[in-house]
Structure 1
């Protein structure tokens, strides 16, 4: 139907006849001469319908006068140089003089204009119109180029693209599974995969050595800007590797892909930082290194203070007292300081102490009275505070303080314009093997139950489970975890011991993971891997904070597809076929 794309018409085509297809982005009638900005997925070109002596010109102008916004058109015409070039578009040096206009499909009045940014509910309800918008086209094509670049890199290095099952076994050790009733097995269910984790490990046992897959994954969990019920990840696994083998390979992949897709040169090599250091300095296991602010531990300086909140935390072996200095923060009003305290409270803070030093050196602080002059001066000096600064303090359990002080660091960085315009990748390594779940009163795996511990001795692991370190690693970019992986457990005895520490007895382990334990018995090689969030990386590349912008048909935060109306009720007859009865709400 067409000879060229709208956005690719250029000066090399001047004098040639072209046929274009697209949508009327703008239509203007200037007293008998009509201008149409015709848009397709490559861009926009100006169409001119003007009167003249040529046969049919009057008909062309008459049709052009009827064209409305987003009408679907097919236009034939001759390319000529524009008298008034438009430097804002790629085709701005030329225009197409129409000799024929076909209205392929008239558009009804639209709920929003392609150059507007309507509310998200409207965008998702009319997603097909939202995706026509140039900005959405740009973001979707960024994602497409990302996946293409990843595949090129992997295919060129001998990775094997292997599909793993979508209908699999429920192994509820992480987020909730999506369950699928099995019609041919009454009362039994498949689960949609949260990741291909166990299958890719078994592929290593099977001798495939290097695997990858652009995998669809499903987790029935609460949604937010960077999380969806169904998502896409680049899944990778390597046999016969240690941590640096995996890290060096995929780091090189990311440098190549970022250069190809958006022209960005990432650092070489990526810095490496242990989990303990990241939490101590930044209060986060995914620190945003674009913000230079760091937390400072002050427990040693406040152990003997008269402020019980500080003293109690400082004298608790599992406590922390941390400070965050914000240069120029003395401009904060009391109301704004209260807003910072409210923000910290969302992340577990029970209060937020501060010291404010104005430009003249005057100090205002609700905790000043708890320190003598020397102790207070030592505290101010230790955190490096000077005129014009504010210092926030957090006290309590180590992880809780790290969390809310880390959140304050991010907020302050954004509020005070301290976020560097740069790309700051790093590896976070040596994660804790377990964390204790107070509610369940048992250990849970910080990464997943198949991550290898740093120690090879099972008795050592059992004796020191609380402080055990894993062989896990995350790739972080600008405060976002974009990939997570580990060296896996390849000995069945160690895997059984980890299950035991997680409160999974031998019978339960066999029922849930027996196929993995069996596979590990038959000469499983050392292996490890990583999975990258395609949606998250694409969002970073496209410059959007929401992964919904780079997913063609995402769900709302209420887990709905507004365009199709999913989820929706199912007829009783269809439910009966799969042996399912729906319980009443409540």
Structure 2
């Protein structure tokens, strides 16, 4: 089969050549003696000219309408100087058509692919929405990114190995999607939240460098950067250390940005989880926002275990804002648990309570302490200082972290043309969930940091929340791009972690018995990461909505407006599957 020629690829080297191209009518103009048609495909647009001397083609052209699908044959000629359109890649040439085949007609489209449409309509008619140049370019770039990643990893001796989609339920931190088994009635498969156990088993098998562009499924609340089914770049490696592995991932990410955007990323900064929460109130800070959280707890009589935090805003960022409008942030932060936010304006060495709200009183502070607060915030005359109690949320972002993020966006403090890659390391091994239970910060296969079998019991008795894990997240401009860790390769430690998490022995044997047994057979030290392909493409294509980078995404309520999934299943099918109890 000959290489296909796309409309947008035709240039001056094709002049005087006869070619055949396929595409859709983007627009047409019938000037009587000449008919001009803009023909488009995924690579661009070319101008086709129909002349009366080619009578059959000309007569068919009079019937053309937008979005008709056609095949044309003609000769490429250079346009006259006055008719050249240098804004188009094909603007210096045109095709004189002497044969046309109408492949299919088109009704008027229910969406305007050259205009703004509601997202509901875009998702309902996604196959038409994807004809937009912007959407086509995103999917093309996604394909290029995946191709580059594959080449990079395979050059470094990683094997592309597939893992099962129908599997058993594992503890990955979210709810599973379940699939009923017809043969084994009343039993279910779980769709994988990640290939975690399988990739560790591949390390035990001696396949020491694995990767997969893996489909994953999580039944969780959705947002602009999250989907129920998503794609991750899954990488696992034996016989290496965290520092070396992170350097390897850095090299891949650096080269992706260089190849895709021609941008050289700055040095990857490293923050511990504790540092990130201290200064930014989140474990995925956007370092383009230079605002930091300042701990003022020592200046006040603490009534509880929460920190008292300030955020300072320079007056120059407020010059076009009315000070009285700042009251909206008091109401904004209440939904995240801070009910005592006060807003002060610096008046030389004094703090003026703008709204006279005295939830956090400074009246008992002497002149020196107030001056110290001003100095600690590096504030000058007329600057604004927000002071409030910090409430830490289970999802590793605090109330003052939310305020920092909101202020950065509202006051245009984000350096939009900058890139700040960042590693967050030394996460706690455990955390509390919504109802206060002990759960893994990442997943239960994450290795504790600097441990031995003998000292694990002592660490656990002191305070399990103080145990650090050998884990890391890759964050770029406020988005968590990837998460990984060293894995537990010791049977006793893995068993101990399951016991700590109160996974009873029956469940351990049923769900993880095969894995625990595998750990007894010379398991090598191994380490890995899962990079979110969808979020990576979001950043590289300058969109902030994950649905823009997925061909057929779900809504925030996990519905597919195109296929109407999920839907009710036929009663007889349910009965045949042995699921009459549903």
TM-score of the pair, normalised by structure 1: 0.92
Matched with 1:23 is 24
- Take 1:396 and 1:226, find their aligned partners in 2: how far apart are those partners? 25
Does residue 1:426 correspond to 2:422, yes or no? yes
**CA contact 1:3–1:18 (8 Å) conserved in 2:** no
Which moved further from structure 2: 205-214 or 574-583? Answer: 574-583
Matched with 2:378 is 384
Render the CA deviation track for 1:262-313: whole Å, top value 9, x for unaligned: 2222224x1111111111111110111111111111111223xxxxxxx42x
Task: Give how far 1:342 is off.
Answer: 3.1
* Aligned pair partner of 2:344 in 355, 358, 368: 355
Structure 1 residues 69 and 445, CA gap change in structure 2 (3 angstroms): same
* Aligned pair partner of 1:444 in 439, 444, 448: 439
**CA contact 1:427–1:475 (8 Å) conserved in 2:** yes
- Take 2:41 and 2:334, find their aligned partners in 1: how far apart are those partners? 48
- Take 1:67 and 1:137, find their aligned partners in 2: how far apart are those partners? 24
Does residue 1:410 correspond to 2:397, yes or no? no
Matched with 1:67 is 64
Task: Give how far 1:373 is off.
Answer: 3.5
Render the CA deviation track for 1:389-412: whole Å, top value 9, x for unaligned: 222122144568961222222222
Instruction: Tell me the secondary structure at the aligned position of residue 345 of structure 2.
Output: strand
Task: Give how far 1:2 is off.
Answer: 9.1
Task: Give how far 1:505 is off.
Answer: 2.8
- Take 1:579 and 1:258, find their aligned partners in 2: how far apart are those partners? 51
Task: Give how far 1:371 is off.
Answer: 3.9
Task: Give how far 1:510 is off.
Answer: 1.9
- Take 1:231 and 1:259, find their aligned partners in 2: how far apart are those partners? 25
- Take 1:194 and 1:490, find their aligned partners in 2: how far apart are those partners? 21
Structure 1 residues 474 and 103, CA gap change in structure 2 (3 angstroms): same
Which moved further from structure 2: 11-20 or 160-169? Answer: 11-20
**CA contact 1:330–1:357 (8 Å) conserved in 2:** no
Count, aligned residues: 566
Matched with 1:117 is 116
Instruction: Tell me the secondary structure at the aligned position of residue 319 of structure 1.
Output: coil
Q: List alignment gaps of at least 5 residues for structure 1.
A: 304-310
Does residue 1:322 correspond to 2:309, yes or no? yes
Structure 1 residues 319 and 362, CA gap change in structure 2 (3 angstroms): closer
- Take 1:286 and 1:499, find their aligned partners in 2: how far apart are those partners? 28
Render the CA deviation track for 1:308-362: whole Å, top value 9, x for unaligned: xxx42xxx4x321111112235454366323223332333322421112489999
Matched with 2:289 is 291
Q: List alignment gaps of at least 5 residues for structure 2.
A: none
Structure 1 residues 20 and 388, CA gap change in structure 2 (3 angstroms): farther
- Take 1:143 and 1:345, find their aligned partners in 2: how far apart are those partners? 40
Does residue 1:485 correspond to 2:484, yes or no? yes
Structure 1 residues 61 and 340, CA gap change in structure 2 (3 angstroms): farther
- Take 1:164 and 1:273, find their aligned partners in 2: how far apart are those partners? 33
Matched with 1:307 is none
Matched with 2:274 is 276
**CA contact 1:320–1:395 (8 Å) conserved in 2:** yes
- Take 2:221 and 2:572, find their aligned partners in 1: how far apart are those partners? 30
Q: What does residue range 299-378 of structure 1 map to in structure 2 within 5 Å?
A: 299-303=297-301, 311-312=302-303, 316=304, 318-328=305-315, 329-331=317-319, 332-333=321-322, 336-357=325-346, 363-365=352-354, 366=356, 367=358, 369=363, 371-378=365-372
Matched with 2:388 is 394
Does residue 1:42 correspond to 2:43, yes or no? yes
Instruction: Tell me the secondary structure at the aligned position of residue 407 of structure 1.
Output: helix
Matched with 2:222 is 223
- Take 1:118 and 1:426, find their aligned partners in 2: how far apart are those partners? 36
Render the CA deviation track for 1:423-468: whole Å, top value 9, x for unaligned: 11011100011112361x4211111111011122222331231211
TM-score of the pair, normalised by structure 2: 0.93
- Take 2:111 and 2:506, find their aligned partners in 1: how far apart are those partners? 58
Render the CA deviation track for 1:77-102: whole Å, top value 9, x for unaligned: 22122232222221111111222222
- Take 2:42 and 2:57, find their aligned partners in 1: how far apart are those partners? 25
Matched with 1:512 is 511
